Structure 1
Amino acid sequence: MDLGAIVAIDVHTHAEVGRGGHTSLSSQLLAASEAYFKAHGHRQPTVDEMAAYYRERRMAAVVFTVDAEHATGHAPIPNEEVAASCAAHPDVLIPFASIDPHRGRAAAIEARRLVREHGVRGFKFHPSLQGFSPDDRMAYPLYEAIEELGVPALFHTGQTGIGAGVPGGGGIRLRYSNPMLVDDVAVDFPDLRIILAHPSFPWQDEALAVATHKPYVYIDLSGWSPKYFPPLLVRYANTLLRDKVLFGSDYPVLTPDRWLADFEKLDIKPDVRPKILKDNAARLLGLTVDKETPA
């Protein structure tokens, strides 16, 4: 990947459809997500189409799906397929994987295999969708493997559009996505690089506290248009967390075009903008020579 040719790194995009047309979520949950984001009729691009989309914009993108089969009964898009599709576009795509933590020690074995044999560069968790609390010891063998592998773990935090408006929220429990539950993970795995995904409504203050207190906890800004960011999040991004905040869109339900247009109007210091858009993610993902630990 030629970092000099890339203007931004989007650390949060979803592979919603596999090669054979299999979707990442059930039709009911996908429809709820589309309604929540007012993205009715949006296309579900293939990974190849995502590569073309980001290449046209001179951006790189982290791509993942979510394995929530235990909680939902819906089979995931295979991690190997996502990784292979990304490997065909190494100039713009960075593969993450998702493993259901209910698999226990088998999940840890799988994580090591995916990194060593398939080039996976990180792992995505969605506690509410996957039906587990991040501090559940069931998931600890998997965290231990990810920490040893030296790749990041990205956790959905805050409210989710998945299941919104469905009776009972589609069985999705929001409390599992409180970032304070990830604080325990950061304590018990002090060398694990953690990304708290999204402005963490209604727990934004908690997310800022964890990211400020724990040196290897980052925040991505996906899932919200920047014009809706809480003022305190903007203030921390400009100051205390200037080296630990990351651009993410939530593509395809929220496009980088929309996100960047609104980010341009946000009161972000000129020297902080390139950090958020590219430099912080490049360092975290090991795409630069500089691996300096953030203050």
Structure 2
Amino acid sequence: MSRLGDDIVAIDFHTHVQRSARTGTTGAAEDNAEAMAAYFRTEARTPTVHDLADTYRAQNMMCVAFTIDAGWKTGEEPSVTSDEIIELAAEHSDVVIPFATVDPHGGRRAAREVRRLAEKGARGVKFHPSAQEFSPDDRAVYPVYEAIAETGIIALFHSGHTGAGAGTRGGGGIRLKYGNPMLVDDVAVDFPDIPIVLAHPSFPWQDEALSVALHKPNVHIDLSGWSPKYFPANLVQYARTLLKDKMLFGTDYPVLTAERWLRDFEGLGFDEDVRRRILRDNAARLLGLAE
């Protein structure tokens, strides 16, 4: 179990493990990393859990780490398993907070997997509706949510636009419609005790995301995947005010680094109280790490 050290200055709620530390396997992750790096004009990286631990420990930060199982759509296995992430995160419990991935099309089989991985140490489950090609409000996925509710872990949903597949023929088969955060509203209604996080500024549905987070007590927003200098004005305003306790620092590493995100975040002029909430305190409370 991860613990919040006195020296921790921030918790990055959104980082990707893209390579197995045990087999070196990247699968399609290497090609995806190169495409995403080109899209975001950054360096291509395929970090292991050990790499994440080294990177974030050096910055006195913790990070939520996961991979994505999109095998139902792509036919490919994730480059690293949830089991490996959980097991290696235990070696770096001062830094790495493991989340799991499951196939949302898996029904009760996937629900059993959620229970198993939660018992093993997963603190949440990451969903990418566009990449995994499912609608979050599809009742066929409800057995998975039931397992999440039973185990008391977090559900993290990609929302909005995605760099995955951007600019490629047919968008790489990615259907953006599944990223509408309003599709998560039913989940928040029917599973009011699941802590839910909408990942990323939700372009082009930012108002929908703000509305759901404002209306549903269990819904939060992580600010990953965009440099803060590109945040829409309404997101910044709500982060300063009505949703200041529900906004979470996140980078989408390795797409963005914490250094780049924080440098651009400083330009928004948040006061120290709100800055501390967004960078550390809100995530610590949500993850049960608060002192």
Q: Please report how far the alpha carbon of residue 85 of structure 1 lies from its aligned counterpart in structure 2 after TM superposition.
A: 1.2
1:49 shift after superposition: 1.4
Correspondence list, 1:158-197, <5 A: 158-197=160-199
Q: Which residues of 2 match residues 19-30 of structure 1 at below 5 A?
A: 19=21, 20-23=23-26, 25-30=28-33
Separation in 1, partners of 2:133, 2:27: 16
Instruction: Choose from 86, 90, 93 the match for 1:87.
Output: 90
| Closer/same/farther in 2, CA of residues 53 and 2 from structure 1, 3 Å limit | same
SS at match of 1:3: coil
Contact preservation (8 Å) 2:12, 2:251: yes
The separation in 1 between residues aligned to 2:285 and 2:231, in whole angstroms, is: 24
- Per the alignment, in what secondary structure is the counterpart of residue 248 of structure 1? coil
Do 2:19 and 2:29's aligned partners in 1 also have CA atoms closer than 8 Å? no
| Residue in 2 that maps onto 1:129 | 131
Would you identify which runs of 4 or more consecutive aligned residues in structure 1 move more than 6 Å? none
Q: Is the 8 A contact 1:192 1:216 kept in 2?
A: yes
Q: In the alignment, which residue of structure 2 is the partner of 1:283?
A: 285
Give 3-state SS (helix, strand or coil) of 1:154's partner. strand
Offset at residue 196 of structure 1 (A):
0.3
On the 8 A contact 1:32/1:166 being kept in 2, the answer is no
Partner Cα distance (2:186, 2:139) in 1: 11
Between the aligned partners of 1:112 and 1:287, the Cα distance in structure 2 is: 21
1:18-63 Cα shifts (integer Å, max 9, x gaps)? 12122264554333322211124x2212210110110000000000
Identity %: 61
One-letter amino acid of the counterpart of residue 125, structure 1: F
CA drift of 1:149 comes to 1.1
Q: Which amino acid aligns with 1:68?
A: A
Question: Which residues in structure 2 correspond to 1:1-295 (within 5 Å)?
Answer: 1-19=3-21, 20-23=23-26, 25-40=28-43, 42-76=44-78, 77-116=80-119, 118-288=120-290
Q: Secondary structure at the match of 1:237?
A: helix
- What is the CA–CA distance in structure 2 between the aligned matches of 1:66 and 1:43, rounded to whole Å? 16
Q: CA deviation at 1:137?
A: 1.1
- The count of aligned residue pairs is 287
Unmatched 5+ stretches in structure 1: 290-295
Q: Counterpart of 1:48 in 2: which secondary structure?
A: helix
Hey, what's the Cα distance between the residues in 1 that align with 2:39 and 2:117? 32
Distance 1:132 1:94 in 2: 26
Is 2:4–2:284's contact at 8 Å kept on the other side of the alignment?
A: no
TM-score (norm 2): 0.96
Equivalent residues of 1:222, 1:249 under 8 A apart? yes
Could you tell me whether the CA contact under 8 Å between 2:30 and 2:46 is conserved in 1?
Answer: no
Q: For structure 2, list consecutive stretches of 5 or more residues without a partner in the other structure.
A: none
Instruction: Kindly indicate whether the alpha-carbon contact (under 8 Å) linking 1:129 and 1:172 is maintained by their aligned counterparts in 2.
Output: yes
Corresponding position of 1:292: none
SS at match of 1:132: coil
Does the Cα contact within 8 Å between 2:4 and 2:289 map onto a contact in 1? no
DSSP-derived class of the 2:278 partner: helix
Alpha-carbon distance in 1 for matches of 2:226, 2:64: 17
**Hey, what's the Cα distance between the residues in 2 that align with 1:286 and 1:30?**
32
Paired residue type of 2:179: S
Tell me the alpha carbon deviations over residues 105-147 of structure 1, each in whole angstroms, 9 at most, x when there is no partner.
001100011111x211011000000010111111100011101
